[in-house]
């Protein structure tokens, strides 16, 4: 046997911010809710996990038969670094804060060390996850890591929503922590601030309208969404930026430099390089995961240029018309029209 306090103590020594424990029972209600939203058509069909079996994701027995406990963890990624490296004549597109570095990989490494510690002390088997494919948000709530904000992201009392989640599934029995208490009260700032209206009701996100989700979906971005896209190259965090529960979160020193790409990337370079070079330059980060389509990143870069409205970028946009990729050609036309008309 190993005591939960021993696990938490060692986890904190490894630099993990919060560690909680829950049982390994399936998340049946949550699976039903995900399915309901899928049936309502709120997911993008081409998302890499769309075809995955929801019941399997929501039951850790499918990951480790005989699992008895889930050790849930979170790591804060808020730092006080500059948020945009744009220079005169060198427009940049923004990268969402959670992926300036590969925090998932960093947390997985720490959790693996913790898993080996548990194995040494108790003989238990374990598996480590971060960024799926397990039901990370339901695990976070049931274990006490945090509660759902109305933007459908988990909020921790100390670190707000500036956290990545990770888990160890193990077959050792552990006393569980209690479910996270807390809620948003009357606030609905995130719903009001979302530029695309993707938060269609509290806690429910229409991923077909969410810039975060659309930045790695490939297709032509509808005009009403492209118009409010701004200079986002990958991800969106407006709903987190406006959240009052994030205001008091203290910035941390960067935890890792694994997969560092920083807060923004030079757009003209993104449009000039090929996929192999893109994957080499920004390796080890979520923005080059195998399921990320490089043309989607270039499409985002074109939309960004439409917003930045620097006429010296016109030749770069024109290079995409005509183009053997119809989506890029159409997006370049959209960006040129916006750049010329200014709206
Ligand atoms: S990530 Fe952006 S687009 Fe998506 S819900 Fe939040 S504010 Fe809206
Ligand atoms: S902005 Fe308000 S409603 Fe949205 S998650 Fe934060 S506290 Fe909740």
The 3-state secondary structure of 231-290 reads CEEECCCHHHHCCHHHCCCCCCCCCCCCCCCCCEEEHHHHHHCCHHHHHHHCCCCHHHCC
Between the CA of 243 and the centroid of ligand 2 the distance, in Å, is: 5
Q: Are strands 126-130 and 163-170 parallel, antiparallel or unpaired?
A: antiparallel
212 lines ligand 1 (CB under 6 A): yes
Check residue 342 and give its pLDDT. 74
Nearest ligand 2 atom to the CA of 193 is 1
pLDDT in tens, 244-284: 999 999 999 999 999 999 999 999 999 999 999 999 999 99
φ, ψ for residue 233, nearest 5 deg = -85, -35
335 lines ligand 1 (CB under 6 A): no
Across the range 102-110, mean pLDDT stands at 97
Nearest ligand 2 atom to the CA of 188 is 3
User: Under a CB-based contact definition with an 8 Å cutoff, are residues 93 and 264 in contact?
Assistant: yes
Identify which ligand lies nearest to the alpha carbon of 205. Answer: 1
Q: Rounded distance, CA 238 to CA 190, Å?
A: 8
Residue 343 predicted with pLDDT over 70:
no
CB-CB neighbours of 172 under 10 Å: 19
Q: What is the dihedral of CA 249, 253, 256, 261, to 10 degrees?
A: 80
150 lines ligand 2 (CB under 6 A): yes
Q: Rounded distance, CA 156 to CA 11, Å?
A: 17
Q: What size, in residues, is the chain?
A: 343
Across the range 93-118, mean pLDDT stands at 98
Identify which ligand lies nearest to the alpha carbon of 160. Answer: 2
pLDDT in tens, 199-232: 999 999 999 999 999 999 999 999 999 999 999 9
Question: What pTM does this model have?
Answer: 0.96
Q: Where does the pLDDT of residue 48 fall: very low under 50, low under 70, confident under 90, or very high at 90 and above?
A: low
């Amino acid at each position: 046997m190993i005591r939960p306090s021993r696990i938490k103590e060692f986890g904190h020594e490894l630099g993990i911010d919060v560690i909680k424990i829950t049982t390994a029972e399936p998340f049946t209600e949550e699976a039903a809710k995900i399915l309901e939203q899928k049936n309502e058509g709120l997911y993008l069909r081409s998302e890499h996990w769309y075809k995955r079996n929801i019941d399997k994701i929501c039951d850790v027995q499918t990951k480790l038969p005989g699992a008895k406990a889930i050790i849930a963890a979170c790591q804060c990624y808020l730092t006080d670094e500059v948020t945009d490296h744009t220079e005169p004549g060198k427009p940049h597109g923004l990268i969402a804060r959670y992926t300036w570095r590969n925090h998932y990989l960093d947390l997985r490494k720490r959790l693996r060390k913790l898993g080996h510690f548990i194995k040494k002390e108790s003989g238990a088997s374990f598996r480590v996850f971060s960024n799926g494919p397990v039901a990370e948000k339901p695990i976070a709530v049931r274990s006490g890591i945090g509660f759902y904000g109305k933007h459908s992201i988990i909020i921790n009392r100390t670190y707000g929503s500036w956290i990545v989640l990770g888990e160890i599934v193990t077959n050792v029995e552990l006393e569980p922590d209690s479910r996270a208490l807390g809620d948003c009260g009357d606030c609905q700032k995130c719903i009001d601030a979302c530029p695309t209206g993707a938060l269609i009701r509290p806690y429910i996100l229409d991923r077909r309208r969410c810039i975060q989700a659309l930045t790695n979906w490939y297709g032509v971005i509808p005009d009403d969404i492209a118009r409010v896209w701004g200079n986002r190259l990958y991800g969106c965090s407006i709903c987190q930026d406006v959240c009052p529960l994030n205001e008091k979160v203290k910035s941390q020193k960067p935890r890792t430099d694994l997969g560092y790409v920083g807060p923004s990337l030079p757009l003209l370079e993104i449009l000039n390089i090929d996929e192999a070079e893109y994957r080499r330059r920004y390796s080890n980060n979520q923005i080059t995961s195998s399921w990320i389509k490089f043309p989607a990143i270039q499409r985002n870069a074109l939309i960004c240029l439409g917003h930045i409205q620097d006429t010296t970028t016109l030749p770069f946009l024109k290079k995409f018309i005509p183009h053997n990729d119809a989506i890029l050609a159409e997006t370049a036309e959209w960006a040129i029209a916006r750049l010329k008309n200014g709206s």
